[in-house]
Amino acid sequence: MTISVGDRIPSITLTKATADGPDQISSDEFFKGRKVALVAVPGAFTPTCSARHLPGFVDKAAELKAKGVDEIAFTSVNDAFVMGAWGKASDAGDIVMLADGNADFAKAVGLTFDGSKFGMGERSQRYSMLVNDGVVEQLNVEAPGAFEVSSAEHLLSEI
């Protein structure tokens, strides 16, 4: 079942990429008591994700925070080392990179797709969501191959 507006984020362990290496964190702890713009992408370093999606949130981070967003996080079915390298290579600054290496989070929110024909296996769909104290306030899931409703600009327009 796909997560919906009004649902609580499932309790899952994610791995946060930090300067000191991987750091496991529960989703309960990560989302507790704050407003988080969570963005999921099919893969770090993939064309649309690297050329448009992450850079859009880097550019609009101050505007999102001015509208009450406490944290911006990107997640992908990649390991923490890849997510950390992608954040660094993209000058992602304060954006938190959350690794979902086994797709546990993507599966728990019901937003996966089979990328096997591209050699990628099970991956997260592309989406953005606004999560307030662990509860989904907005959810913007892209159609396959699209990049429109999960952009930083679109999320900003909804806040």
Q: Which of 36, 38, 49, 129 is catalytic?
A: 49
42, 125 Cβ separation under 8 angstroms: yes
- pLDDT of the residue at 51: 66
> What is the spatial distance between Cα 14 and Cα 30, in angstroms, rounded to a whole number?
9
pLDDT in tens, 117-136: 776 667 788 999 999 999 99
- pLDDT of the residue at 55: 87
Residue among 66, 68, 80, 76 nearest 25 (CA):
80
Q: Is the pLDDT of residue 1 over 90?
A: no
- pLDDT of the residue at 52: 74
Annotation marks residue 49 as catalytic? yes
Alpha helices (runs of H) in the chain, residue ranges in sequence order: 27-31, 47-48, 54-66, 80-89, 104-108, 152-158
Residue among 143, 137, 147 nearest 111 (CA):
143
In this prediction the pTM is 0.92
pLDDT in tens, 12-67: 999 998 888 899 999 999 999 999 999 999 888 876 766 678 888 999 999 999 99
pLDDT in tens, 83-117: 999 899 888 988 999 999 999 999 999 998 676 77
